[in-house]
Structure 1
Amino acid sequence: MGRTPSLARRFFERFELVHGVTYFAPECRSALDGLGYRGFWMGYMAARSAPLGQVPADVVAAMFYNFTTARVAKALPAAWQIADPAAALAARLDSAVAALRRSGVIDDEATRTAADLAAKAARTAPLDGRPLYAANRALDWPDDPIAQLWQAVTLLREQRGDAHVAILLGEGITGRQSNVLHAAAGRTPREMLMRSRDYDDEQWEHYSDELRARGLLDGSGELTEAGRRLKQAIEDRTDAAALSALDGLTDAEVETLFQTLTPITRQVVAAGDVPAATPMGLRRDDLTDGSAHLG
């Protein structure tokens, strides 16, 4: 069927789950706690922003987009008085590798192939306007194949995420509004987003009212037809922008990457660390199919 944006969506559903162990696996939480970071969110903010170095909370909030500066400022720069970015980077990589190994990922030919091809895609993807991806791409490359795989999928997810932020911004959807829009589309439960992204009922209604004023939500908080069209357009444009991450691979290499990465993703899902409902709103029903279907 060729390289259509749907290919980028299917690729995302594979690599994001492998990256996602860093937020949910017990090894990852323990590693960041072990550095002395206080609570999940300090560890999250420190580890994810560590490729940027010690930058102001406003910079991190701008790049992460849907967190408030106040949430980021609870963690940064205080985290750097506890353990510096280099320590956070080492902890996030080592703990992600430990979690993947526990999930059954081993250093074999298939893993090495997936790591090599994911790294080739990740290191040659477009850089323009993608600051968080650029910061991750500038990091030293690990030697261990499982570490290489995790680092590659991390680059790919931030490359896609940077483009998604730019598309939201271009559509006039703020980071806080984007959470409400995402929940209204049924991608992630409202309660999860309210809890993880710091909304009380009044704040949620405030951003809902802003979307209603644009005709995107109805009185009950459901998407209008205009809202559905906009949400789908945002997702389609994100997929189209993310498709360029595969430009450095031949069709045969893309097919091989799908065939080697999909079983790894299934192992991660089977380990049970990444919950079925996450803020990313990922589907899993396509993981029985290991082909890229480019023929």
Structure 2
Amino acid sequence: MWLPVVVGVDGSDPSLEALDWAADEAVRHGLPLRVVHASLWERYEGVVPAWTVERPTGQVLAENIVAVAAERARRRAPDLDISAEVLAEDAAGALLREGTEAAAVVVGSRGRSGFADLLLGSVALVVAARSRSPVVVVRGDRHALESRHGRVLLGVGEHDEHSPALPFAFREAAAREAELDVVRVWRHPGHEPAAHPLLAGGGAGHYEGRAAEELDRALEPLARAYPGARPRPSTVEGVPHRVLTERSAAADLLVVGARRREGVVGLELGRVAHRSLHHASCPVAVVPHRAPAADAETGAEGDA
């Protein structure tokens, strides 16, 4: 049985943009689409007495939101296998539970209750930081989302050689027949001179060369497994989240990793994933990587 692409909807414009993106993603990968709307209307309105035929306003609204969303998806992708359901849970909890059996969870950057000037809504942040499955936060305005750059952007960090974010990005690029822009950002340690005499080729050259070697080693097996991905690796000196957010303007999807440590309670994103979710110009896929609780803090960053 194929795991579905799950999308959360609440009737807001960002959630409808996420719905469109999720429908296209499901078609692209040949997966079913599951449309869900979380509502706690019973908690606030109570149960309708048995002798009345009227349904509570909250129930009607919830059912209409998910029905309209499902119909929108069917019109966009008539042959797509679509299921839809109203879940009696809070939005973040419902999507996290759905994510335990999903190929990916897709959400909008903000919801109905979000302020227009917020960079990222609370539900999107919590789901991206806790989900066991990949989470795609659909960012960008309508014009940007409808543009097609033919490029998937992947940020690879120092400890990401075996991160699930890499095969995820390769699959995305292959399915889209897109170029895969793979970026390994490196930084020269501030306590060393730029041309340290004990480092062959100078200090900067040493760190750049090591970054390039690590990147080639990580990409070699995946390039063979996904010949349609067309990877274009590059090493760049700078601040990782700034490099990725700048390049995201010319990408259809930005993929970053997020290391999850067993036994840790709370939001686990890492600086790069967190800032990409707030500032990227395109949808951002956060792919979790399970790691032991004893991992060092430097290894727990989980992204480029």
TM category (shorter chain) comes to under 0.3
* Larger strand proportion of the pair: 2
With a CA cutoff of 8 Å and minimum separation of 6, indicate the structure with the bigger relative contact order: 1
Mark the structure with the bigger radius of gyration: 2
* TM-score for the superposition, normalised by structure 2: 0.24
